[in-house]
Structure 1
Amino acid sequence: MGRTESLDPGLRDLLSRLRDRVRRYIVWDSLLAIAALVLVVFWVALAVDYLPVRIGGSEMPRSARAVVLFVVAVLVVVILAKWLWGRLNRELPDDSLALLIERHHPSLGGRLVTAVQLTQQNRSHDSHSPVLLQHVHQEAAAAVDQVEFGRVFRWEPIRRKLMLVVPLLLAALVMAIASPQTFARAVGRLSLFSDSPWPRKAELEMIGVESPIITADETEEVGTELLSFEDKTLRLARGSSTTLRIRAATEELGHTVPEICTVSYVDDSGNRGQSNLRRVGRIQDGYQSFVLDGPPLASLAESVTMTIRGLDDRLLDYRIEAVDPPAIADMELAIRYPDYLRIFDAGGASPDSSDQILKYQAGFRIREGSSLTLRGTSSKPLGAVDVSTTSEDVNEDSENEAAEPVVKIADDRMSFEWSVTDLREPTSVRLVPKDETGISAQASYRYFIGVVRDQVPETSMTMKGIGSSITPIAMLPIQATATDDYGVESLSLTMAVRASEENVADNSSEAKPDDSINAEPQQHTVSPEMDRDGNADWTFDLRDLTDDGTVSGLAPGASVQIFTTAKDRFNLGAPHSIRGEVVRLQVVTPETLLATLERRELEFRSRLEQAIDETQRLRQSLAAVQNDALDVLQSPEEENNPDESDVLEDNEVDGEEDVRARQRVQLRIRQAELQTTKSTEELAGIVVGLEDMLLEMVQNRVDSVDRRERLEVGVHDPLSAVVTEPLPRLQRQITSMERVLMSEDTAESSPAKMTDAATAAIATTDEVLLSLNAVLEKMLDLESFNEILDLVRGLISDQEELIEETEETRNQQVQDLFK
């Protein structure tokens, strides 16, 4: 700026005072602008933040308040930089200030500007008279008192800013004096120093979420636990159904209870919804409770963000995160069998080793008394596993085992084990896995372990060639079988002999007074060796057992009982032992047994006579079938010069009649075939009965070899030959007759073929009849021979009775001599 050292001091002071006033004007204008901005934004933001609360809305979020505060800060910086600092740093030259004064004071006539400009030291090349300059200078200095600074400045902007700032500032002061708390909350919220909400008529408070406690024990009542929000966030298991609980302050605490509380929610997929909470219970401790047990907390599928509204109060942005609960992804079973099943274990296996490891499948069953380990794999790290078991019929040991289940979780927290020893009953195992945060599966995992109980062994016994009666010297061949699901440990045969009452009475009368007569049955037990299938053979020879004194009292009238006893390897409780069916045999004399066998032989003869009669009827049926078949197969004679239409009609009628005739003949052939089968089975039954009778004679050591040979050679062998050869051939021949009859080939279905087949069948039938009649004659001869034997037996019996009576008479005569 040019120097004005030669300028009049009055003029210099005028310009200096104007320069100071311009700068003060700039400062006040900037400060009023900042104040106006701050106050306007304060009241507008306060209205936006507070007024929605009065009409049921929510406060301005912190993010919006942060944006407003940032914009205000930026604008204040802009005003300070541009309006204040920028204008204060501008130069204010003397000539510019002089020109500003003369613009608003025309009476100076340019004297002040001329004096200022011409007295500048650095000014050159001006042509002027010093006298004139001195004169102008004096006139300007004389007019200084006429200058009014108020006419220089524009006061309208200042007045407008004051008109805006003063009312807003007064309103703020009134608010601060009347309600310091409200003013402090407003300043704190807008300056982001506080997030405390505006006071409302209603006051809602979040209690938490009530979730059912999932346990493995179904006998316990389902309890609940209250889960609290942490930083407005709560984790729940996906698929869970929970209850949201809030409470509202009542008039006792200076608030109004909402009639309805509403929750608005949105899930992570963008689905929105709204539900009403219902009021529950009575007012307690100044609060009224509200609950929500429907959507979105019913069967929670996705994470949701909720806002609860009641009158003018809000619970904002409460988030429930849906977390996948732990799941048992895989389950395997490690089984160790009990000792009674480890028959091939030499004892070298570790007691903790498993005999079998299997994947769990529905319907799985293990052996009774086995030890079981469940090994499960989880879908996420585990914190705990709740276990409960239920057995159908538990004993004390299993109750204690099930009451304190122990679950071992692996170090990686991804798998677990649970073991039970000596499993006796079908058991249902329920598992509820929980993750490390306490979130559990929403339903228990059920595993049913069936038990295959060790069955009592089964035993059977057969005696071939032994009927219900035996002789005192008989041989009793026994074929015994014992089976068990896991093998038989021992098999024994027991023979109990009970003497007849007459023998017991005779022995008691002849015994000395000191002798004790034991009428209890005598038992003889043996343990035959069994093969791998549990079969054993043994023969009780009554003659040898009587000779060596093992048994006594085997006289006619005694009874013999034979039974088997089997025992398996089960050692977990009472031994599994079973006694088989008792076979009762009556001891008789050889004569009585032979008489019984002879009666059976008469039965066989009657059955043979019936078979012969049926075979004769079969022959007659075959002859009749042959004639009918030939009639069906015989081609009708053609008429001479028949009419064509008559021929067609006759062919249709003849065709139908031919089919029906063939069917009738076929039915009779099949009846003959069935009769042949029946006769074969009947004769085979006679052969088997004869074999048993012959074997029974051998086993009981009765009769002579000649008698058995006559019965075997004369009756058994011929009947067996008939069953083996002619009868099967006859059945094949009858089948060939049906094949010839129903053949569609004219060459195969000729009368000649039918004649050959029928003739062969009839011839075979005649052969069977001849053989059966020969056997019947042999049986009649044997019957006559047996009648002679009966007469001889009768004479011998009468002779023995006569001898006994004679001895008794002699004894009586001797006793009479001593009287």
Structure 2
Amino acid sequence: MTAAPEQCTASVPPSAQLAGQLAAVRSKKTGVEAGSGVALLLGGLTLALGIGMVLDWFLDFPWAIRFLIFVSYLAAAGHIIWHSILIPILRQPDDDDVALLVERGHPQFATRLIAALQLTRPGALQTGEAPSLVRELVAQTERIARPLDFTDVISTHQFRRLVGWAVVIVGIGGVVFWKGGEVSRDLLHRAFLSREIEVPRKTRIGQTSGDLRIARGDNVTLFAIAKGVVPDRAKLVLKFASGRTQEFLLEPGKESKARFEQALENVQDSFDYTFHIGDGKSRSARVEAVERPGIAKLDALQVYPEYTGLGTVRRSLGDLTLLVGSKLNLTLTPTKEVAKGAVLVTSTTNAQPLTLPLAVNPKNAREVQVSIPITSESLSGFSIHLEDKFGFRSKDDAVYRLEVLPDKAPVVRITYPERKEELITQKATILIGFEAVDDFAVKQLFLRYTVDGGEEKGIELTLEAAQRGLRRRYDWKVGALNPKVAEGAMLEYWIEARDNNNVTGPGIGASEHFSAKVVSDAEKRADLLNRVGDSIGAIGEAANDQEKLNQRLGDIIQGRPERP
């Protein structure tokens, strides 16, 4: 059995010469189209920008109009860049389009050029077709193309014309801009939406006082500096929110003829202002009058020391009589939101006031608190200073007077014995009666004594609980003292009381000092007999006085003259 012959597909390689010539055409076409777009962009934008600047110079466009013109510049530039520059670069023609373009420019090719391209592509020839004919077609096309310049089919007439116009427009624009100097620069800044620069005139206004923020009631000075042709007078125009206007005629300053200024006192309302100097006009600026912070409401709470048991009490600002050791908690509501502040606490013993920062609620800047510790009796008053977010401070702050009272020491009095000096024996027991009173509570009691003026000693007396006032007695067994008190010794004793003040105390109070001399039993008996005799004598004198009184009363009743 005989095998069938193998069928194969023949192909002809493409022509490198033709491919190179077509690539040159493609590059030139892309370059000419993109270059034309660049020339159109530069020339068109320069012309449009120049026309806009000239119109702005004559018509003094507001910012909104200049914004619309600027947007139109961007739209036109975007259109040219996309359609005339980017699309020719991104969407370049393929070989077939370029070949057709060359065939239209060189009719001698007829259809050979496009055929030579298409038949040399892979798969272009089918089985049984003769590749020799294609090779002959390619060779013939190469011979025709060799002396020809394919790129001459791309016309550069429009490109040269656009470049020429662009060079002329940009050149003239550059010269005019350079000649215009500062005027041109200002107009260009305005074209690019500057809010700060006004249309340049013969008289140009340079630096001004600009936008200002002041505290209501403050003074402000507005000024402007003229350039170019400086006139002898200027005008300042104020416009208020109510629609009211106010004008001032200004003369040049003494130090500089180009400086015009006006001082305004006690400014109460915000306003806009402009300077008119010659044919120049400044941009509109604003002076904002801001209210100073103040106190709308102030509450005071006194927190007593814990040992007093009095807790927290609301206090009137007109009567701030406080116990030392307390705290004065202030809660204030300012007239506006504040950023910070301080309380200045004055003292009679310190020339420099104590400064305490205010605590401003971060969630509500109109809630402010501060706590003043009442640590000394020398504190004499305080004032509150506020500051808002603009740095304006409160003014003419009120001074609140403080009167600080000390926690008085306990008052102690010995009620028995009645005599301050006694004679006792070595085995005696002295009955001591006493009473103690404190503002809040007596916490401790002591019997203090010395022997012949020696070292002070003490005996703590039992106290079940702290009391504000108490009355007690104590049997002091002198004979139990160790060492034993010798005869002839002098005992000096008193009662000491301490209160429960654990903040500035404790307060210590003491009674008068009493004394007892240690004597022998015989001396004590003699003293007792003398005291009994004194008592009997006093009783006899009292009886005689009573008898005389009765006799006088009888004489008065019977109408007899009184006896001597």
Structure 2 counterpart of 1:374: 330
1:3-54 alpha-carbon deviations (Å, 9 max, x no partner) = xxxxxxxxxxxxxxxxxxxxxxxxxxxxxxxxxxxxxxxxxxx9xx99xxxx
Structure 1 counterpart of 2:270: 303
Amino acid corresponding to residue 473 of structure 2 in structure 1? W
Amino acid corresponding to residue 326 of structure 2 in structure 1? S
- Whether 1:341 and 2:272 are equivalent positions in the alignment is no
Conserved 8 A contact 2:487-2:519: no
Structure 2 counterpart of 1:243: 220
Match of 1:418 among 362, 365, 370: 370
Conserved 8 A contact 1:245-1:291: yes
Structure 1 residue 590, shift from structure 2 partner: 9.7
Structure 2 counterpart of 1:538: 473
Conserved 8 A contact 1:459-1:564: no
Conserved 8 A contact 2:232-2:251: no
- Whether 1:457 and 2:409 are equivalent positions in the alignment is yes
1:32-51 equivalences in 2 (<5 Å): none
- Whether 1:711 and 2:504 are equivalent positions in the alignment is no
- Whether 1:201 and 2:230 are equivalent positions in the alignment is no
- For residues 403 and 531 of structure 2, what CA distance do their matches in structure 1 show? 60
1:79-133 alpha-carbon deviations (Å, 9 max, x no partner) = xxxxxxxxxxxxxxxxxxxxxxxxxxxxxxxxxxxxxxxxxxxxxxxxxxxxxxx
Structure 1 residue 716, shift from structure 2 partner: 3.2
Amino acid corresponding to residue 216 of structure 2 in structure 1? R
Structure 2 counterpart of 1:385: 340
Amino acid corresponding to residue 715 of structure 1 in structure 2? E
Larger Rg: 1
- Higher mean displacement: 327-336 or 271-280: 271-280
Structure 1 residue 199, shift from structure 2 partner: 1.0
More helix by share: 1
1:603-638 alpha-carbon deviations (Å, 9 max, x no partner) = xxxxxxxxxxxxxxxxxxxxxxxxxxxxxxxxxxxx
- For residues 594 and 528 of structure 1, what CA distance do their matches in structure 2 show? 33
Structure 2 counterpart of 1:492: 446
Conserved 8 A contact 1:497-1:551: no
- For residues 441 and 301 of structure 1, what CA distance do their matches in structure 2 show? 16
Structure 1 residue 361, shift from structure 2 partner: 0.7
Segments of structure 1 that go 5 or more residues without pairing to the other structure are 1-45, 51-58, 63-175, 209-228, 345-354, 499-518, 596-699, 731-759, 774-819
More strand by share: 2
- For residues 383 and 555 of structure 2, what CA distance do their matches in structure 1 show? 72
- For residues 581 and 587 of structure 1, what CA distance do their matches in structure 2 show? 20
Structure 1 residue 457, shift from structure 2 partner: 0.4
- For residues 481 and 261 of structure 1, what CA distance do their matches in structure 2 show? 90
Q: 3-state DSSP class of the match of 1:302?
A: coil
Segments of structure 2 that go 5 or more residues without pairing to the other structure are 1-54, 63-175
Amino acid corresponding to residue 487 of structure 1 in structure 2? A
1:63-142 equivalences in 2 (<5 Å): none
Give TM-score scaled by structure 1 length. Answer: 0.37
Q: 1:196 to 1:471 in 2, by over 3 A?
A: closer
Give TM-score scaled by structure 2 length. Answer: 0.51
Structure 1 residue 494, shift from structure 2 partner: 1.9
Conserved 8 A contact 2:292-2:395: no
Structure 1 residue 309, shift from structure 2 partner: 4.6
Q: 3-state DSSP class of the match of 1:484?
A: strand
- For residues 718 and 532 of structure 1, what CA distance do their matches in structure 2 show? 48
Amino acid corresponding to residue 370 of structure 2 in structure 1? W
Q: 1:521 to 1:331 in 2, by over 3 A?
A: closer
Match of 1:582 among 513, 522, 529: 513
More relative contact order, 1 or 2 (CA 8 Å, 6+ apart): 2
Structure 1 counterpart of 2:318: 362
Structure 1 residue 316, shift from structure 2 partner: 6.4
- Whether 1:431 and 2:385 are equivalent positions in the alignment is yes
- For residues 536 and 364 of structure 2, what CA distance do their matches in structure 1 show? 87
Structure 2 counterpart of 1:36: none
Amino acid corresponding to residue 711 of structure 1 in structure 2? A
Amino acid corresponding to residue 430 of structure 1 in structure 2? I
Amino acid corresponding to residue 478 of structure 2 in structure 1? L
Conserved 8 A contact 1:546-1:554: no
Structure 2 counterpart of 1:757: none
1:217-248 alpha-carbon deviations (Å, 9 max, x no partner) = xxxxxxxxxxxx2xxxx554433x14335341
1:610-667 alpha-carbon deviations (Å, 9 max, x no partner) = xxxxxxxxxxxxxxxxxxxxxxxxxxxxxxxxxxxxxxxxxxxxxxxxxxxxxxxxxx
Match of 1:320 among 287, 309, 318: 287
Structure 2 counterpart of 1:677: none
Conserved 8 A contact 1:567-1:577: yes
Structure 1 counterpart of 2:97: none
Q: 1:566 to 1:289 in 2, by over 3 A?
A: farther
Structure 1 counterpart of 2:424: 472
Structure 1 residue 587, shift from structure 2 partner: 6.1
Structure 1 residue 497, shift from structure 2 partner: 2.9
Q: 1:275 to 1:465 in 2, by over 3 A?
A: farther
1:148-194 alpha-carbon deviations (Å, 9 max, x no partner) = xxxxxxxxxxxxxxxxxxxxxxxxxxxx9xx99999x99xx9xxxx9
Conserved 8 A contact 2:429-2:479: no
Amino acid corresponding to residue 305 of structure 2 in structure 1? P
1:308-327 alpha-carbon deviations (Å, 9 max, x no partner) = 35555444654434444443
Structure 1 residue 385, shift from structure 2 partner: 2.6
- For residues 761 and 441 of structure 1, what CA distance do their matches in structure 2 show? 90
Conserved 8 A contact 1:279-1:290: yes
Q: 3-state DSSP class of the match of 2:386?
A: strand
Q: 1:537 to 1:586 in 2, by over 3 A?
A: same
Q: 1:701 to 1:476 in 2, by over 3 A?
A: farther
Q: 1:534 to 1:277 in 2, by over 3 A?
A: farther
Cα RMSD for the two superposed structures = 5.6
1:440-455 equivalences in 2 (<5 Å): 440-443=392-395, 445-446=397-398, 448=400, 450=402, 452-455=404-407
- For residues 274 and 552 of structure 1, what CA distance do their matches in structure 2 show? 102
Conserved 8 A contact 1:487-1:569: yes
Amino acid corresponding to residue 342 of structure 2 in structure 1? V
Q: 3-state DSSP class of the match of 1:487?
A: strand
- For residues 764 and 539 of structure 1, what CA distance do their matches in structure 2 show? 56
Q: 3-state DSSP class of the match of 2:535?
A: helix
Q: 1:446 to 1:319 in 2, by over 3 A?
A: same
Q: 1:180 to 1:200 in 2, by over 3 A?
A: closer
- For residues 359 and 237 of structure 1, what CA distance do their matches in structure 2 show? 33
Conserved 8 A contact 2:201-2:279: no
Conserved 8 A contact 1:203-1:313: yes
Structure 1 counterpart of 2:360: 408
